[in-house]
Amino acid sequence: MSLARPAAISSETQGSPESSVETVTLGDLAVILRDQSRIILSVSASVLVAGGLYLALAKPLYRSTATLLLDLRGGTSLSADPSLRQSIDTSVVDSQIRLISTAAVLRRVVDKEHLAENPEFVPPPGLTQRLKGMLGIRAEPLSEEGKRLTAMSGLADRLVVKRADKTLVVDLDVWSRDGETAARLANDIADAFIEDQVDAKARASNAEGTWIRTRLAELDGKIREAEARVEAFKVENRILTVNGRLVNEQQLETGTNELARAQLKTFEARARLQQIEQAMQAGSDPGATGEALRSALIQQLRIQYAEVKRQRDNLATTLGARHPALLEVNQQLLGLRGSITAELRRLAAAQRAELASTEANEAQIQRQIEEQKRNATKTNQAIVRLRELEREVETSQAVFQRFLRASSNVAQDSVSPPVARVVAPALAATRPASPNTRAVMLIAFACALAAGLAAGILNHLRQQAARRRNSRAASLRETGSRHEGPGGPGWRAPRMAHDRAF
């Protein structure tokens, strides 16, 4: 070990400037310790005494720790997100830790423990305030809120929140002059944090529930208005439904079926009329048509006609053509044929009337179908707007259902467990945590040793510097006395003893 310092440069004793380095070796260090032992011991003792005074005057502080386990799943098993149970964002945990030392939590503890009246957290006026009071400068006393804020600030300074690495375990360290007070405050802070979170969640749930209920009422009104618009639009445009089908469509389908039946009746009536007219034009057997056979009168006349004709045929074989009996029978045949023809004319007239009726009915049904088609076209055009109105109703109902589910979730969240629980309450410490006597004494001993050695070495170097200055001064005096003698221009008086370095 060596200590070095630059030697002084003198142009008076040397022909040219040069520098030299003075060193202190390990061998010299033993000499320094022997020669400077008084200074080394005095400085070391002073430092040790200062450490002892600190231990004697420092007020002991006790530390108590309460341990919390954060539960950030965000609700019960009915509403919690499964993905949140598997992965919790670190920022959420850090936010919860920051909330522990917020003013809302500390205010609860201050009010519960009456810390605003505790001189440890709201100290009495100090020396400066007392001096100002003696000088007549009086400061306004703290208000109740000011004392509360001062106590909150003091409690925040004595609170340390720590989190174990990558865990949800949080330690609350509280320092106080009394061990029981520190433990009580640590437990109170943990309880206050849990209560504050429960109250905050309740307030948030109440506010959210109120807002959701307001929105539900608004949406219910909108749904009613939208449904009323839909019904009014249906009435205005005559859009009626039965069994899920439009009445217009059902009427059009029914009319189409009726038109088909009417057309069939018209075809059948026209066919019967044609048969009757063909029978009237045939002349051989006017009553031998299918339509004529359905007439009871024609059937009776045909029977009579057949009987008279048979008689005529019998008479014609025995009588001559001009025989009165044969002529009478022929007259009877002509009469029966005329009766049959008259009946056929009557049937033809009735069939023409029926054909006209069926044709009129067919035309009427055709007109109704055309009207129904026009109405269906208008209805289809109106249905486009109706679908828009119905979609508005469906959208409002979907939003209403979402808010209804949200209201149910809010009700479930209101009974969810708190975000944290105390897993290890704080216990009163029996030994102060600060100041640490062993650590303070070790530091004081190290500082005393270093300070003593530094003082001894510095004093040794100062003494050497003083001896060199004295040596140079003596050399200058001897040189001046040889050249000029005492009183000459280069002569200097010798220095007094008190000018030398100690």
Same domain, 373 and 297: yes
Of 115, 116, 123, 117, nearest in space to 185 by CA: 115
Please check whether residue 182 lies inside any domain of the structure.
no
Q: pLDDT of 26-68, one tens digit each?
A: 666 677 777 777 888 888 888 888 888 877 676 788 889 999 9
The Cα-based distances of 154 to 119, 135, 149, 158, 175 in angstroms read: 11, 29, 9, 6, 10
463 token code pair: 């003494």
Distance CA 227, CA 392 (A): 9
Is the model's pLDDT at 273 over the cut of 60? yes
Q: Are 348 and 273 in contact (CB under 8 A)?
A: yes
406 token code pair: 């949200």
Same domain, 54 and 16: yes
Please check whether residue 420 lies inside any domain of the structure.
no
pLDDT at 184: 92
Average pLDDT over residues 272-276: 81
Of 150, 155, 167, 146, nearest in space to 102 by CA: 155
Distance CA 122, CA 139 (A): 16
DSSP state of 499: G
The widest CA-to-CA distance across the chain, in whole angstroms, is 224
Same domain, 407 and 441: no
Strands 62-70 and 169-176: antiparallel
User: In this structure, is the dihedral angle defined by the CA atoms of residues 78, 80, 83 and 86, taken in order, positive or negative?
Assistant: negative
Same domain, 381 and 488: no
Same domain, 407 and 343: yes
Same domain, 441 and 402: no
* Number of DSSP helices (H) and strands (E) in the chain, helices first: 13, 8
Tell me phi and psi for residue 143, to 5 degrees.
Answer: -75, 175
Range of the domain at 325: 241-413
Question: What DSSP assignment string belongs to 303-371?
Answer: HHHHHHHHHHHHHHHHS-TT-HHHHHHHHHHHHHHHHHHHHHHHHHHHHHHHHHHHHHHHHHHHHHHHH
* Residue 169, H or E segment: strand 169-176
DSSP state of 434: B
Please check whether residue 247 lies inside any domain of the structure.
yes
Please check whether residue 69 lies inside any domain of the structure.
no
The confidence band for 74, taking pLDDT boundaries of 50, 70 and 90, is: low
153 token code pair: 């600030």
The confidence band for 191, taking pLDDT boundaries of 50, 70 and 90, is: very high
The confidence band for 17, taking pLDDT boundaries of 50, 70 and 90, is: very low
From 413, 444, 471, the end of a domain falls on: 413
* Residue 481, H or E segment: helix 437-483
Q: Are 74 and 85 in contact (CB under 8 A)?
A: no
Same domain, 350 and 257: yes
Is the model's pLDDT at 496 over the cut of 50? no
DSSP state of 394: H
Same domain, 358 and 279: yes
Distance CA 487, CA 493 (A): 9
Same domain, 263 and 313: yes
What is the residue whose two structure tokens read 């001189």? 119
Q: pLDDT of 104-162, one tens digit each?
A: 999 999 999 998 888 888 887 655 655 655 565 555 667 888 888 999 999 999 999 99
- Ordered alpha helix ranges (H), 140-289: 144-157, 179-236, 247-282
Spatial CB neighbours of 40, under 8 Å, sequence gap ≥ 6: 33, 452, 453, 455, 456
pLDDT at 387: 84
Torsion of CA 64, 69, 72, 76, to 10 degrees: -130
Please check whether residue 326 lies inside any domain of the structure.
yes
What's the domain count of the chain? Answer: 2
Distance CA 456, CA 44 (A): 10
The number of angstroms, rounded, from the C-alpha of 114 to the middle of its chain's C-alpha atoms is: 39
Distance CA 340, CA 334 (A): 10
Distance CA 44, CA 455 (A): 9
User: In this structure, is the dihedral angle defined by the CA atoms of residues 188, 191, 195 and 197, taken in order, positive or negative?
Assistant: positive
Q: Are 457 and 35 in contact (CB under 8 A)?
A: no
279 token code pair: 């029978």
The confidence band for 16, taking pLDDT boundaries of 50, 70 and 90, is: very low
pTM for the model: 0.53
242 token code pair: 């039965």
Of 244, 240, 229, 256, nearest in space to 379 by CA: 240
Q: pLDDT of 201-225, one tens digit each?
A: 888 888 888 888 888 889 889 888 8
Per the model's pLDDT, the better-predicted residue between 401 and 414 turns out to be: 401
Burial class (CB in 10 A: 0-12, 13-18, 19+), 191: middle
Same domain, 285 and 375: yes
Q: Are 303 and 336 in contact (CB under 8 A)?
A: no
277 token code pair: 């007219």
Q: Are 276 and 403 in contact (CB under 8 A)?
A: no
pLDDT at 123: 81
Same domain, 319 and 369: yes
Please check whether residue 400 lies inside any domain of the structure.
yes
143 token code pair: 């208000």
Is the model's pLDDT at 188 over the cut of 90? yes
Distance CA 23, CA 464 (A): 11
Please check whether residue 210 lies inside any domain of the structure.
no
Same domain, 278 and 345: yes
Single-letter amino acid, residue 121: F
The Cα-based distances of 43 to 48, 199, 252 in angstroms read: 9, 60, 120
173 in helix, strand or coil?
Answer: strand
Please check whether residue 451 lies inside any domain of the structure.
yes
From 363, 381, 413, the end of a domain falls on: 413
Spatial CB neighbours of 10, under 8 Å, sequence gap ≥ 6: 472
